[in-house]
């Protein structure tokens, strides 16, 4: 059976062009700073985002955790979204790796209320943790890939500056946000102190993310990358895939967004499925299936029996993610199969 895999945009496989770029990449020892392909990637990304420096890392989670570590001291507190990747999916990494406490705020589609953030920033009393960092996520995964509005980021930046607090963006899908909003990644980046952005999601590379910030900050990140075990050697073969993705796979993200809207329209017509179409701004569709009277597991297994793979999301929802390895025809076929199941 052929499966239409909508579990995540991480399931993509390198194209022939990407594989050829990987095979032909010049390499060196990156721990010594001698891999020319990695160096080219880091310089290009830093320039693209308008920052001084960047560092290639194995994963988005490592990118976030390294940035948190470099911004904080043990015993500090960071403000995060209650539904953010950092809070939900990184295995309490900030407390384990950086020794910091997380203060989660609810947010709306991942957007933190600036007034609540200001209220959450601790006063300078010695018996309270120091608020060192605010973390935001763009796009926001648990809100079906919603885009973080630039005006809200600017307001958070101002609040952070007034309080002497740093602002970090988990920009794993920042290129999706840029394509959907028409706002350049440089315009997003100028309002935060650091970012972690990913090549292995919508851009289709097999491995890799990159941490971005000023030169002094990235040197701290480099040290902690080594401590965390993320130093890599002839890693230009992976950096080449990221460079290929930057050259070929950014503008086409608009196709993924179109496919997600197509799927959302089809699924929202099914009795028992409830979709907030205002959330469907990029390449994700989250469907609350409580109205079907079936559990997540039952729904996912039924879909799998028809060759359609989705994942669970929250308590009564399932998630589909469109990407470059599923065509419009695949998405339409997936919708037909799901509609037949729940007639």
195 and 55 both lie in a single domain: yes
For residue 21, the domain's CATH number is: 3.40.640.10
Instruction: Please list the residues that pair with 209 across neighbouring strands.
Output: 57, 198
41 and 90 both lie in a single domain: yes
Q: Is residue 55 exposed (0-12), middle (13-18) or buried (19+ Cβ within 10 Å)?
A: buried
272 and 208 both lie in a single domain: no
Q: Is residue 124 exposed (0-12), middle (13-18) or buried (19+ Cβ within 10 Å)?
A: exposed
CA 290 to centroid of chain Cα atoms? 27
> Does 5 fall in a domain?
no
State which of 214, 231, 248 marks the end of a domain. 248
Parallel/antiparallel/unpaired status of strands 4-5 and 166-171:
unpaired
164 and 72 both lie in a single domain: yes
For the chain, 343 residues long, the average pLDDT of each consecutive 10-residue run is 94 97 97 96 98 98 98 98 97 97 96 97 94 98 96 98 97 98 98 98 97 98 96 96 98 98 95 92 96 93 96 94 97 95 85
118 and 234 both lie in a single domain: yes
- Supply the range of the domain harboring residue 275: 252-341
Q: Would the pTM of this model clear 0.85, i.e. be above it?
A: yes
What is the chain's Cα-based Rg? 20
> Does 157 fall in a domain?
yes
State which of 248, 267, 298 marks the end of a domain. 248
Asked if 334 contacts 263 with a C-beta cutoff of 8 angstroms, the reply is: yes
240 and 126 both lie in a single domain: yes
pLDDT recorded at residue 231: 93
Asked if 177 contacts 208 with a C-beta cutoff of 8 angstroms, the reply is: no
Asked if 209 contacts 19 with a C-beta cutoff of 8 angstroms, the reply is: no
134 and 273 both lie in a single domain: no
200's enclosing H/E stretch is none
Name the phi and psi angles at 11, rounded to 5. -90, 0
pLDDT recorded at residue 260: 98
pLDDT recorded at residue 29: 95
pLDDT recorded at residue 314: 87
183 and 239 both lie in a single domain: yes
State which of 248, 278, 301 marks the end of a domain. 248
> Does 33 fall in a domain?
yes
Number of domains in the chain: 2
> Does 34 fall in a domain?
yes
Query: Which among 76, 72, 65, 160 is positioned nearest to 112, based on CA atoms?
Result: 160
> Does 101 fall in a domain?
yes
List own/partner pairs for 187-190 with CB under 8 A and 24 or more apart: 187/150, 188/138, 188/150, 188/153, 189/49, 189/50, 189/51, 190/50
256 and 309 both lie in a single domain: yes
CA dihedral 273, 278, 284, 290 (to 10 degrees): -20
330 and 185 both lie in a single domain: no
The DSSP string of 225-278 is HHHTT---SSTHHHHHHHHHHHHHSSTTHHHHHHHHHHHHHHHHTSTT-B--TT
For residue 287, the domain's CATH number is: 3.90.1150.10
> Does 73 fall in a domain?
yes
pLDDT recorded at residue 185: 98
182 and 285 both lie in a single domain: no
pLDDT recorded at residue 115: 97
> Does 202 fall in a domain?
yes
Q: Is residue 33 exposed (0-12), middle (13-18) or buried (19+ Cβ within 10 Å)?
A: exposed
103 and 243 both lie in a single domain: yes
pLDDT recorded at residue 104: 98
């Amino acid at each position: 059976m052929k499966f239409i895999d909508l579990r995540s945009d991480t399931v993509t496989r390198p194209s022939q062009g990407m594989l050829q770029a990987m095979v032909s990449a010049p390499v060196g020892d990156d721990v010594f700073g001698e891999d020319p392909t990695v160096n080219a990637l880091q310089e290009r990304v830093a320039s693209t985002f308008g920052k001084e420096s960047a560092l290639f890392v194995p994963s988005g989670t490592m990118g976030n955790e390294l940035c948190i570590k470099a911004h904080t001291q043990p015993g500090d507190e960071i403000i995060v979204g209650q539904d953010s990747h950092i809070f939900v999916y990184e295995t309490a990494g900030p407390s384990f790796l950086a020794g910091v406490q997380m203060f989660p705020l609810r947010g709306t589609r991942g957007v933190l209320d600036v007034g609540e953030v200001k209220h959450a920033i601790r006063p300078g009393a010695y018996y309270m943790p120091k608020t060192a960092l605010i973390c935001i996520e763009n796009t926001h995964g648990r809100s079906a890939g919603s885009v973080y509005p630039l005006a809200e980021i600017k307001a958070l930046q101002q609040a952070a500056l007034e309080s002497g607090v740093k602002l970090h963006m988990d920009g794993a899908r920042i290129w999706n946000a840029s394509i959907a909003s028409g706002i350049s990644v440089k315009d997003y980046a100028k309002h935060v102190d650091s970012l972690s952005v990913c090549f292995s999601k919508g851009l289709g590379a097999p491995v890799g993310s990159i941490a971005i910030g000023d030169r002094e900050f990235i040197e701290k990140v480099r040290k902690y990358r080594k401590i965390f075990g993320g130093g890599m050697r002839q890693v230009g073969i992976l950096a080449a895939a990221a460079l290929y993705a930057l050259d070929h796979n950014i503008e086409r993200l608009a196709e993924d967004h179109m496919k997600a809207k197509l799927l959302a329209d089809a699924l929202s017509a099914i009795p028992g499925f409830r979709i907030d179409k205002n959330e469907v701004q990029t390449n994700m569709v989250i469907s609350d299936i409580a109205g079907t009277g079936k559990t997540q597991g039952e729904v996912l297994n039924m879909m799998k029996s028809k060759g359609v793979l989705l994942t669970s999301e929250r308590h009564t929802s399932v998630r589909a993610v469109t990407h470059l390895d599923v065509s419009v025809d695949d998405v339409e076929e997936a919708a037909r199969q799901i509609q037949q199941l729940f007639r």
